[in-house]
Amino acid sequence: MQDTHAHPPAPPPPRLLDLVRQQVRLLHYSLRTEEAYVRWVRSYVRYHGLRHPAELAGADVEAYLCWLANERQVAPGTHRQALSALLFLYQKVLRQPVPWIAEIGRPRSERRLPVVLSQAEVQQVLAALDAMAPGRQHAPYGLVGRLLYGTGMRLLEGLRLRVKDVDFDRRAIVVREGKGFKDRVVMMPASLEQPLREQLQRAQAVWQSDRAAQVAGVHLPQALARKYPRAAESWSWHWVFPHSQLAHDPRTGVYRRHHLLEVNFQRAFKRAVDATGVAKPASPHTLRHSFATHLLQSGYDIRTVQELLGHADVSTTMIYTHVLRLGGGAVRSPLDAPGFEPPVPRQVPPPQPPAAAGRYSAAGAPATVRRAREPAPAFRRAAVAVQALCLPPHPNAAVARCRPMPSCAAAATSAS
């Protein structure tokens, strides 16, 4: 008799990359960290011929890292990121001990000075951003660039800005979930008050069209969408810089309105830098470096700049003091002392026209033709040098001798 109450078949075990995603979300890591770890684990498995990482050990991890450093020639920061992803795989996902971690050396960190634009260069780039997207209602690249430079925000912090975080009464902007999931308050530039109000009017028109079309609300952090079901569709949680098109949420798959994409502004900024002719490897993050450097040049203390940038340690902010000393700062070069005169430009005579072939010059006058003289032998040149150092010859040629001087013998020896 067939059993009608048979248990359904067990679901297949989750794949390795799905386990990585689950563990990353369990620890509340960011979406960028999840994408990076999944990418490194996939590359590690493919490097070892699709073998499961549970079958591999520390020597295999070291071989993969050596391949990245030698063959791919990745930067030290990329090398450390790959190592962190593999440690997360073995420690958090596979739950395996890693006694070999002490044998794998970590790449030496490099302290690089940030790229900083001058105020004139910043103005040129921002003007190029204004002229880059005429007629684009939802892509105010110039306003985004001015917001990043005027407040020191990171690119994603500015693009993820919501309506409720813009306070016109206090002239303040609240940065939510910055790097390390930390909030902070930055000032609102007075010159951006009216442009921000106009941008909010354009964003409100987009929000009203979404409500009329019954589009799903914007993404909310954590479990706020379940706790406040209507908050995602409210105006206060809407984006200040909404995207012109709808998109799928990468985690939930819901079709909703997203903010302006990061890659779009990065490409626009690169074209603006190329259009202005600024010969620096500038990126949108360069506006943040320029913000901090220009504040320090204006006389603001390092602690104030640290709070505005959201750095946990003041040593991170101290990197901008090195930028100030790079071009001289308070140190005066000794070449600029009052006693030194500026170099006089050397007058170079104009080149003469080449003489015509034959015995006549270009002007028609007879040209002087001299025969080439062959060099004298070595012993004759030595004798001439010795004679130049000796006294004039005696009237009696038979007794003419050189006065005994030490320099005569030395000159003869050196000439020979």
Q: 154: helix, coil or strand?
A: coil
Rounded Cα distance between 60 and 342, Å, is: 63
Which H/E stretch holds residue 246?
A: strand 242-248
320 among known catalytic residues: yes
Whether 245 and 138 have beta carbons less than 8 Å apart is answered as no
Q: Which of 44, 90, 141, 320 is catalytic?
A: 320
**Among residues 415, 363, 413, 411, which one has the least CA distance to residue 389?**
411
User: Are 107 and 80 spatial neighbours (Cβ–Cβ below 8 Å)?
Assistant: yes
CA neighbor of 413 nearest in space, from 376, 375, 386:
386
Q: Is the separation of the CB atoms in 307 and 153 below 8 Å?
A: no
Helices (H), 53-175: 58-70, 76-88, 119-130, 141-151, 155-159
Residue 121: count of CB within 10 angstroms of its CB: 19
Which residues, in sequence order, are CB contacts of 354 under 8 Å at separation 6+?
362
Burial label for 109, CB within 10 Å (0-12, 13-18, 19+), is exposed
Asked whether 101 and 278 are in contact (CB, 8 A), the reply is no
| Residue 182 annotated as catalytic | no
Tokens standing for 80? 């450390």
285 flagged as catalytic: yes
Q: Which has the closest alpha carbon to 147: 85, 111, 196? A: 196
φ, ψ for residue 134 (rounded to 5)?
A: -70, 135
Q: Pick the catalytic residue: 176, 179, 184, 258?
A: 179
Number of Cβ within 10 Å of residue 140's Cβ equals 22
Which alpha helices (DSSP H) does 172-242 contain, by range? Answer: 193-212, 224-227
Which of 21, 138, 146, 154 is catalytic? The answer is: 154
Residue 256: beta bridge partners?
Answer: 216, 247
In this structure, the number of other CB atoms found within 10 A of the CB of residue 408 comes to 18
Distance CA 384, CA 290 (A): 69
DSSP 29: -
In degrees, rounded to 5, the angle at the alpha carbon of residue 211 between the alpha carbons of residues 206 and 215 is: 90
258 a catalytic residue: no
Exactly one of 138, 146, 256, 288 is catalytic; name it: 288
What are the residue numbers of the active site? 154, 179, 285, 288, 311, 320
